[in-house]
Structure 1
């Protein structure tokens, strides 16, 4: 009567300071997955002086011998092949597999997850990704400027209808939210300024604080950040949806230039809209600060306007408004570029829309910091 086939087992026993590893059952190919799993579970607990007993192994083929060799190592496997109590065929199989592993299977050592090395690797990948993204942005800026240079002297190729439509979407529709946001920020700045300056008896200079803040920085910065979240995302979603529906491929098939048709009107619209919105934000912020000054400092509106007119120079306004076209160009270019990078799925549209917003805000703040350093060095 034939012995039924049972998957091999591995048992490790310890007593009186000695270890004994006993292998039983069938170590053959049909049970390879089970054998591999059981061997992996016990592999880390086998000591160097363990005694190995494989006399109760019923059947063994090359796959089973390979698992045993992986578990014990080639040297112990070859030592088992010298056991005279084992059948000659089994000893020859163990010796052959042990020699093969020692000769050909050097083993692949797993990489240890060293925290510092992993951190450096991630930093390197981030820097590489940032550099590639910067090169792509510079290339797209060049393509956009080339498109402007090509169509500027050809009025028949101007997309006036598209320009007006995008002006309404990016400019006119953003006025209410921008004016309210700037008004509230202006009120907060005035309130904090008056509270801080009151300790020095200089609350009256809250007027100058509000004026400098909104003419030089807050007006253009609030506008740019708002449009980076509102308009850059819209540009990416619009162009990305067209890319997903293969409409851009259809445009190229018709012999039209997608940059001229889709990018230039959006860039030009934002170049016009953002300086105008910046002016609205400046006025709204100053009005918000003025309301707080009148309400908390018992200052009359005429006094607020008189101080503002005497202390604020035209240069402060020009310093702030000069940054608006640069911000507008970068926001619109990034939004359009991310739209063209959409791969074709709805998930890709969402990912690149998020990327457009993050990149736009990052670039706006970076350029604003660079401009502030430049103005400081120039004494403006």
Structure 2
């Protein structure tokens, strides 16, 4: 016959007996509260071997009575408990263990720093593995829908091209125009010391055709579009819209990710071309107004001194940057949980990762092209 659980104080120990189960929870809660108020448990060592029945509700009360850390210590050294009961107490103790109950760790500051760096490196490696897996999933989905034109989502593609490309044209053109003027001013200041201000045109053309045109456009899209992708997909996940798509047997990668990725791959080369043109125009305007270099001279230098390979090097990097930015933005959106805070954190992470990856890939490309002599 079931016996109600109780606390039996004997000499220097407290024997816990009876059924510590949900039906007895209300009465046991009062007894545990009374024991904690009288501080009796501090002077007695607990004995758990006389418990007749135990469930999760009773185990949580024992954790409140003894402390989660103390409960874990008892399960580790008390061989008189059945294995299933010991596992239950350990599981509840680990779940309820508070950070302030953890044993203090007195270690070297250098070891702590190395451990922190190691955790960050591990987190970065796990993020890159996840990114590679997500990239493979996107490429596999593209290969699947490519031979089936009726599955292409042209309306969504055109919409995202407008959002990521056409709507970003003014800000890209303005920013590159101003940066082109700044580069021309700085170049003229240095080259004037050598009487070579005419080479300011070459400097502006080389810098924007190879680097600044694509880099500025990619960084702008990383801040403007990658964050938008993350926020959109994160909000959809929070509202369980992505789960609803899977319930209907639809592939979220095909419906939500592929149009965004293709739109970015189409838009960034266009924005890069506009950025190159605007930067050269901004630098040329400074050359005309400040350095007294005529427009025919500028056009002649661009035609005879600037090789077309510089243009193709810069433009060739644009689709790669666009793909990476779009994939990171979509991945962070899928990683967001159901809270607004999580969406905000992953939006910030998408922008930081996108800019970092763009600069990293651009550095690798610069070394590669330099070694190839292009």
Q: Taking structure 1 as the reference length, what is the TM-score of the superposition?
A: 0.73
**Mapped pair 1:330 → 2:324:** yes
Q: Distance in 2 between matches of 1:29 and 1:341?
A: 43
Aligned equivalent of 1:63 = 42
Indicate if the aligned counterparts of 1:187 and 1:285 stay in contact, CA closer than 8 A: yes
Aligned equivalent of 1:120 = 114
Aligned equivalent of 1:320 = 314
Distance 1:29 1:319, change over 3 A: closer
Q: Distance in 2 between matches of 1:140 and 1:309?
A: 44
Match of 1:299 among 265, 275, 293: 293
**Mapped pair 1:247 → 2:226:** no
Q: Distance in 2 between matches of 1:62 and 1:235?
A: 56
Aligned equivalent of 1:50 = none
Q: Distance in 2 between matches of 1:116 and 1:110?
A: 17
Q: Distance in 1 between matches of 2:278 and 2:174?
A: 7
Cα distance, 1:365 vs. partner? 0.4
Q: Give the aligned length.
A: 286
Q: Distance in 2 between matches of 1:122 and 1:375?
A: 36
Aligned equivalent of 1:12 = none
**Larger-gyration structure (1/2):** 1
Equivalent positions of 1:1-380 (< 5 A) are 32=39, 63=42, 110-380=104-374
Moved over 4 A (4+): 28-32
* SS of aligned partner of 2:292: coil
Unaligned runs of at least 5 residues, structure 1: 1-27, 33-60, 67-103
Aligned equivalent of 1:86 = none
* SS of aligned partner of 2:169: helix
Indicate if the aligned counterparts of 1:29 and 1:64 stay in contact, CA closer than 8 A: no
Aligned equivalent of 1:54 = none
Cα distance, 1:113 vs. partner? 4.6
Q: Distance in 2 between matches of 1:271 and 1:167?
A: 9
Q: Distance in 2 between matches of 1:189 and 1:249?
A: 49
Q: Taking structure 2 as the reference length, what is the TM-score of the superposition?
A: 0.74
RMSD of aligned alpha carbons = 1.9
Cα distance, 1:323 vs. partner? 0.4
Cα distance, 1:29 vs. partner? 7.7
* SS of aligned partner of 2:249: coil
Q: Distance in 2 between matches of 1:216 and 1:155?
A: 36
Unaligned runs of at least 5 residues, structure 2: 1-34, 46-76, 78-101
* SS of aligned partner of 1:231: helix
Q: What's the CA shift string for 1:250-273, capped at 9, x where partnerless?
A: 111111110000000000001100
Q: Distance in 2 between matches of 1:342 and 1:63?
A: 44
Aligned equivalent of 1:72 = none
Cα distance, 1:313 vs. partner? 0.7
